[in-house]
Amino acid sequence: MKRTNIIMKGLTIGMVFVVLFLCVGMIDLHSGGCERAFMRCSQDTYWQAVAFGVVYCVAGYVFCKKYIEG
């Protein structure tokens, strides 16, 4: 059970970027991941169709910078 928890937490960390930007797929975990996620978000047809959708990409980017990168 304890081992399972550790594995699950490891998977959780790996999934962080996915949660940060729900509109895009898997994001790189190395440096620059927030920038790449912002690019994909801003080019995503869903957010381009939403009025002022870029502000939601901005929200995700700033959160990514705060949470993931120092």
Q: How far is the CB of 56 from another protein (least distance, A)?
A: 5
Q: Does 49 help bind another protein (rule: CB under 8 A)?
A: no
Dihedral sign computed on CA atoms, order 34, 58, 43, 46: positive
Q: Which helix (H) or strand (E) holds 65?
A: helix 54-67
Q: For residue 28, state whether it binds another protein (rule: CB under 8 A).
A: no
Compute the Cα dihedral for 28, 33, 36, 41 and give only its sign: positive
Instruction: Give contact residues for another protein (rule: CB under 8 A).
Output: 2, 5-6, 8-9, 12-13, 15-16, 19, 22-23, 35, 38-39, 42-43, 52, 54-56, 58-63, 65-67, 69-70
